[in-house]
A = this chain, B = another copy of it.
Amino acid sequence: MAITGVTRPGHAQLRVLDLEQSVEFYKNVMGLVETGRDAQGRVYFKTWDERDHNSLVLRQADQAGIDHFAFKVLDRATLERLDSDLRAYGVATERRPAGDMLGTGERVRFEIPTGHIIELFAEKEFVVGRDRLVNPTPWTPQSEHGIAPLRMDHALLYGPDIDGNVKLFTEVLGFTMPEYVEHDDDGSKIAVWLTCSNKAHDIAFARFPEPGKLHHVSYLLESWEKVLRAGDICSMHDVKLDIGPTRHGITRGTTIYAFDPSGNRFETFCGGYQCYPDWEPIRWPLSELGAGLDYPQRKLHESFLTVVT
């Protein structure tokens, strides 16, 4: 099989300060579909176009941030193999039973060198209707409610040892690294983009003194025009924008960064090339990171480097 191992981002579990305010935001501004609430009070969402039961889970907490970021692997056998490979590599793994999260099978979880919790799972309930599987319309009325992204696409996480992450993700989990930012002086890596697919990134990491930090969870849109529409919707709802609309030099994608009501940054983006594992990665000297972040402005926005949850 041409696509094996880790197939895609599965879900992000975020901490929010006011659950109902956040549910309101993710339903009516982001335009996600609420798919359930569990006994712990967590609320589950998917985009209108996703088939999996959930891709975002919200949990009320005293501090914003990310609990864990999860990937769906091809099947049960892959899950067992990767768990075994992780342990062989020296990573301690734990299991969470099927049903601990709504619609989600057993999960293997582990901490990565930047201090984040990553999870793998092989099974998540498909909730796609027949009308989406038999001569479907290209879009639906739900796709015009709020920002209404196509999918939860990737996350950028901040923490200290991103070299350790690269080693783990490429040597054990089968990811490749299409782009990276390095110090002009010593060539040490500042930020890395990693993919388990043809997408330019399924996850990214940037070096930061504090471990376990969330920079943003990213949602995919269909066009640059939809990116502007996302910005308009943010403005209509007094959602604070951080950067954009603009284009990244890195990945070439177009983007807006903004903040959810708890201060968790999110991205609504479009585009980015499709890439292959035999490609030499693209290198950005730190001195050019302004163009990498905001290509038209060539501006290294301060908040991009410092504001995380």
Determine whether the beta carbon of A285 is less than 8 Å from that of B245. no
Quote the shortest CB–CB distance from A200 to chain B (angstroms). Answer: 11
Q: From residue 248 to 284 of chain A, which have CB atoms closer than 8 A to chain B?
A: 249, 252, 254, 256, 271, 273-274, 276-284
For A84, the chain B residues whose CB sits under 8 A away are none
> Which one of A32-40, A60-68, A160-168, A221-229 is at the B interface?
A221-229
Known contacts A241-B297, A245-B245, A295-B235; decide if A283 and B134 are in contact (CB<8 Å).
Answer: yes
| A111 within 8 Å of B (CB atoms) | no
Q: Which of chain A's residues 44-78 have a Cβ closer than 8 Å to chain B?
A: 49, 51, 72, 74-75
Complex contacts, A278 vs chain B, CB 8 Å: 7, 72, 74-75
* Residues A225 and B223 in contact in the complex (CB < 8 Å), given A136-B249, A256-B296: yes
User: Considering only CB atoms, which chain B residue lies closest to A49 in the complex?
Assistant: B273
Tell me if A27 is interfacial: C-beta within 8 Å of chain B. Answer: no
- The answer to whether A42 has its CB under 8 Å from any CB of chain B is no
- In the bound complex, do residue A137 and residue B223 qualify as a contact, i.e. CB atoms below 8 Å apart? no
Query: Quick check: which of A15-23, A87-95, A98-106, A191-199 contacts chain B, the rest being far away?
Result: A191-199
Contact A135 B3 (CB under 8 A): no
Contact partners of A282 in chain B: CB under 8 A: 132-136
Q: Mark A116-147, 1 if CB is under 8 A from B, else 0.
A: 00000000001010001111111100001000
With A231-B247, A232-B296, A296-B245 as contacts: A277 and B3 at CB distance below 8 Å: yes
Pick from B134, B195, B285, B295: contact of A231, CB under 8 Å: B295
Q: Does A298 contact B (CB under 8 A)?
A: yes
**Chain B proximity of A72: nearest CB distance (Å):** 8
CB distance from A223 to the nearest CB of B (A): 6
A244 proximity list for chain B (CB < 8 A) = 296
Task: Tell me which of B2, B128, B245, B298 contacts A196 (CB under 8 A).
Answer: B2
Selected from B135, B199, B231, B298, the residue in CB contact (under 8 A) with A284 is B135
Q: Which residues of B have CB within 8 Å of A232?
A: 137-139, 247, 295-296
Bound form: Cα–Cα A141–B169 in Å: 36
Mark A residues whose CB is within 8 Å of B.
1-8, 49, 51, 72, 74-75, 126, 128, 132-139, 144, 150, 173-176, 195-199, 222-225, 228, 231-232, 234-236, 238, 241, 244-247, 249, 252, 254, 256, 271, 273-274, 276-285, 288, 291-292, 295-299
Some 24 contacts from A to B, beta carbons below 8 A apart, are A1-B277, A2-B173, A2-B174, A2-B196, A2-B197, A3-B174, A3-B176, A4-B4, A51-B279, A74-B277, A135-B249, A137-B235, A137-B249, A138-B249, A139-B232, A150-B273, A197-B274, A198-B199, A225-B225, A228-B247, A231-B297, A232-B296, A241-B297, A245-B245
